[in-house]
Amino acid sequence: MINYNKTYDVIVVGSGNAALCSAIAAKENGAEVLVIERGTKQKRGGNSYFTDGAIRFAYKDKHALQPILSQVSTKEIKHIDMPEYDTEDYYNDIMKVTKGKSASNLARQLVNKSYETIQWMIKQGVEFELNENQSFNNNGVLQFWGGLPIKTHRKGIGLIEALIKKAELLGIEFKYNTRAIQLLTTDEKVSGIKVIKGEVENQISANSVVLACGGFEANREKRVQFLGEEWEQALVRGTEYNTGDGLDMAIEIGAQPYGDWSGCHAHTTDFQAPRVGDYAKPGDIYKKSSYPLGLIINCRGKRFVDEGADFRNYTYAKYGKETLRQPEQKAFQLFDEQVRNLLRVEYDLEEATSLKANTLEDLANKLGIERDAFIKTIEEYNNAVQDGEYNPAIKDGKGTQGITPPKSNWALKFEKAPFYAYPVTCGITFTFGGIHVNEYGEVLDQNQSQIPGLFAAGEMVGGLFYHNYPGGSGLMSGAVFGKLAGDSAVKYVLENAKISN
pLDDT, one tens digit per residue, over 481-498 is 999 999 999 999 999 866
Query: Residue 269: what pLDDT?
Result: 96
Under DSSP, is residue 126 helix (H, G, I), strand (E, B) or coil? coil
Task: Identify the CA nearest to 22 among candidates 177, 166, 158.
Answer: 166
Q: Which long-range contacts (CB under 8 A, 24 or more apart) does 339-346 make?
A: 339/290, 339/293, 339/294, 339/412, 340/420, 342/136, 342/290, 342/293, 342/392, 343/290, 343/293, 344/133, 344/289, 344/290, 345/133, 346/284, 346/285, 346/286, 346/287, 346/288, 346/289
Q: 46 with 194, same domain?
A: yes
CA distance 480 to 422: 36
Query: Residue 501: what pLDDT?
Result: 45
Q: Is 131 within a domain? A: no
Q: Is 290 within a domain? A: yes
Query: Residue 70: what pLDDT?
Result: 80
Q: Is the dihedral of CA 73, 76, 82, 84 positive or negative?
A: positive
Q: 166 with 45, same domain?
A: yes
Other beta carbons within 10 angstroms of residue 274's beta carbon come to: 16
DSSP 340: G
Q: Is the dihedral of CA 254, 255, 260, 263 positive or negative?
A: negative
Under DSSP, is residue 229 helix (H, G, I), strand (E, B) or coil? helix
CA distance 130 to 427: 26
Q: 377 with 474, same domain?
A: no
Q: 463 with 406, same domain?
A: no
Strand partners, 468: 466
> pLDDT digit of tens for each residue in the chain (501 aa)?
666 789 999 999 999 999 999 999 999 999 999 999 999 999 999 999 999 999 999 998 898 998 999 878 777 888 899 989 999 999 999 999 999 999 999 999 999 999 999 999 999 999 999 998 888 888 888 999 889 999 999 999 999 999 999 999 999 999 999 999 999 999 999 999 999 999 999 999 999 999 999 999 999 999 999 999 999 999 999 999 999 999 999 999 999 999 999 999 999 999 999 999 999 998 889 999 999 999 999 999 999 999 999 999 899 888 999 999 999 999 999 999 999 999 999 999 999 999 999 999 999 999 999 999 999 999 999 999 999 999 998 999 999 999 999 999 999 999 999 999 999 999 999 999 999 999 999 999 999 999 999 999 999 999 999 999 999 999 999 999 999 999 999 999 999 866 554
Q: Is 133 within a domain? A: no
Query: Residue 28: what pLDDT?
Result: 98
Q: 377 with 454, same domain?
A: no
Domain that holds residue 32: 7-58+155-216+432-496
The H or E element containing residue 121 is: helix 104-123
Q: 396 with 334, same domain?
A: yes
Q: 313 with 423, same domain?
A: yes
Amino acid at 409: N
Q: Is 365 within a domain? A: yes
Query: Residue 405: what pLDDT?
Result: 98
In degrees, rounded to 5, the angle at the alpha carbon of residue 219 between the alpha carbons of residues 36 and 38 is 15
Task: Identify the CA nearest to 54 among candidates 316, 303, 229.
Answer: 316
CA distance 501 to 496: 16
Strand partners, 209: 11, 454
In the listed set 427, 443, 461, which residue is the last one of a domain according to the structure?
Answer: 427
Q: Is 73 within a domain? A: no
Q: 398 and 409 in contact (C-beta within 8 Å)?
A: yes
Q: 333 with 444, same domain?
A: no
DSSP 281: S
Structurally, the chain folds into a number of domains equal to 2
Q: 285 with 341, same domain?
A: yes
In the listed set 388, 410, 427, which residue is the last one of a domain according to the structure?
Answer: 427
Concatenated DSSP letters for 298-334?
Answer: ETTS-B-S-TTSS-GGGTHHHHHHHHHTSGGG-EEEE
Q: Is 373 within a domain? A: yes
Q: 319 with 466, same domain?
A: no
Any idea what the CATH number is for the domain that residue 42 is in?
A: 3.50.50.60
Any idea what the CATH number is for the domain that residue 340 is in?
A: 3.90.700.10
In the listed set 427, 455, 476, which residue is the last one of a domain according to the structure?
Answer: 427
Exposed, middle or buried, 15 (CB in 10 Å: 0-12/13-18/19+)?
Answer: buried
Q: Is 147 within a domain? A: no
Q: Is 87 within a domain? A: no
Q: 355 with 406, same domain?
A: yes
Q: 421 with 438, same domain?
A: no
Give the CA distances from residue 141 to residues 239, 320, 392, in Å, rounded to whole numbers and listed in that order: 38, 32, 14
